[in-house]
Amino acid sequence: MAVLKRMLPTAIAIAVGVFVLAAVFTSDPRLDAFGTYLIDTAVIIAAFALFLGLVNVSRVHARRIRERGPGRLYSFVLLAAMLIVLAIGLPPFSDQPSGPSQPAVQWIFENIQVPIQASLSALLAFFVITAAYRLLRIRNLEAIVMLIVTLLVLVGQITLGLLPVLPDIQDWILAVPAMAGVRGILLGVALGAILTGIRLLLGVERPYGD
């Protein structure tokens, strides 16, 4: 029984993976339909994870409030906001819209969530400056090379016409060494992802099981 309990999830995971992969690489309509069915099933199961998330958020923040931990006021605001949005989103009458299409929920989204997210995105500009400062303080060869390249690219953007060669240098840096580096990284990532997929299909990589 213990062996079955250990092996069954892995066997199901491998079988589903093989079927979906076969559906991608073949044009058989039955296999294609079965692959689509398996993906749809996974989407439905994944939707249930949202409920688990809701329970997790409630538990973590309720505990912080109960234990009077640091930031408990934020936890209270978070739980209150969650419950208010949930209550508003639930349909009071069957003929009224519910969920994200509910006008009050849309108002909250457009007037509270979107401005806060925009503010956070705007903060990134300042974080970029502090990150650049931190990077340039590092005294090694890589930092010096990065400083020179950054200055060349920045000056190349300025179209004052003082040094017409600078935009050409900037274009060359972006098109040749920078692009080569990016492609190298992306190729490595693609190979790593393929091998991870193979390990998953073979049941080697399974942090979900013993």
Where on the chain is the footprint of other proteins (CB under 8 A)? 21, 24-25, 42-43, 46, 49-50, 52-53, 56-57, 59-60, 63, 70-71, 74, 117, 120-121, 123-124, 127-128, 130-132, 134-135, 181-182, 184-189, 191-200, 202, 204-205, 207-210
Which residue lies nearer to other proteins by CB, 120 or 160? 120
- Name every residue whose Cβ is closer than 8 Å to that of residue 199 and which is 6 or more positions away in sequence: 205
Least Cβ distance, residue 96 to other proteins (angstroms)? 26
Which residue lies nearer to other proteins by CB, 93 or 137? 137
The answer to whether 102 and 88 have CB atoms below 8 angstroms apart is yes
Least Cβ distance, residue 90 to other proteins (angstroms)? 20
Which residue lies nearer to other proteins by CB, 128 or 163? 128
Give the single-character DSSP code of 206.
Answer: -
Least Cβ distance, residue 6 to other proteins (angstroms)? 11
Sign (positive/negative) of CA torsion 50, 52, 58, 60?
A: negative
Place of tokens 């399974």: 206
Which residue lies nearer to other proteins by CB, 12 or 132? 132
Least Cβ distance, residue 88 to other proteins (angstroms)? 19
CA-CA-CA-CA dihedral for 73, 76, 77, 81, to nearest 10: 180
C-alpha separations of 12 from 7, 105, 171, 193 in Å: 9, 40, 51, 21
- Name every residue whose Cβ is closer than 8 Å to that of residue 17 and which is 6 or more positions away in sequence: 200, 201
Least Cβ distance, residue 161 to other proteins (angstroms)? 29
- Name every residue whose Cβ is closer than 8 Å to that of residue 60 and which is 6 or more positions away in sequence: 75
Give the single-character DSSP code of 152.
Answer: H
Which residue lies nearer to other proteins by CB, 12 or 163? 12
Which residue lies nearer to other proteins by CB, 130 or 159? 130
Least Cβ distance, residue 80 to other proteins (angstroms)? 16
Strand boundaries in the chain, DSSP class E:
none
